[in-house]
Amino acid sequence: MARALRIPQEYLAKILRRLARAGVLISTRGKAGGFRLAAPPQRVRLHAIVAPFDDLGGPRRCLLGRPHCSDRFACAAHDRWRRVADAMNEFLRQTTLADVARNGAPTE
C-alpha cells in the first residue's frame, strides 16, 4: 500500500495506527494480521477518517493567519472562508467510503 501511495512505509503505519485508535480501523497482530475497516464502507464517513488528523470541531482557523478572527472581528476573507469551510465539513459528514468507491478512485 505504501508503494502504491508513494509514501514511506513507516509513515503509513503511523496513519493506520492513528485510524485504529480512532475506531475507524481494526488492527490484528500476527502473521496474517493487518488492518481492516471497523464498519462497512457505507457506514464510514470521511469525517471519521479526517478527524484524527485535523480538529474539525474546533474553532476555524483564519485563512489569512490572524490570531483572532471571528464573525465579530472578521478578516477580509472571513465570510467566504467560513462558507467554504462549512461546506467542506458538511461534505465530510455526508460522504462515506462507499460513496467515494462508487465514483472510482482518482488515477494519474
Judge whether residue 37 has pLDDT over 60: yes
pLDDT band with cut points at 50, 70 and 90 for residue 40: very high
Sketch the domain layout of the chain as residue ranges: 1-38, 41-108
CB atoms within 10 A of CB 97: 19
pTM listed for this prediction: 0.79
Q: C-alpha grid cell for residue 29?
A: 497482530
Mean pLDDT of the region 8-22: 96
Largest CA-CA distance found in the chain, in angstroms, rounded: 57
How far apart (Å, rounded) are the C-alpha atoms in residues 7 and 85?
Answer: 27
pLDDT tens-digit readout, 71-105: 888 999 999 988 998 899 999 999 999 999 987 65
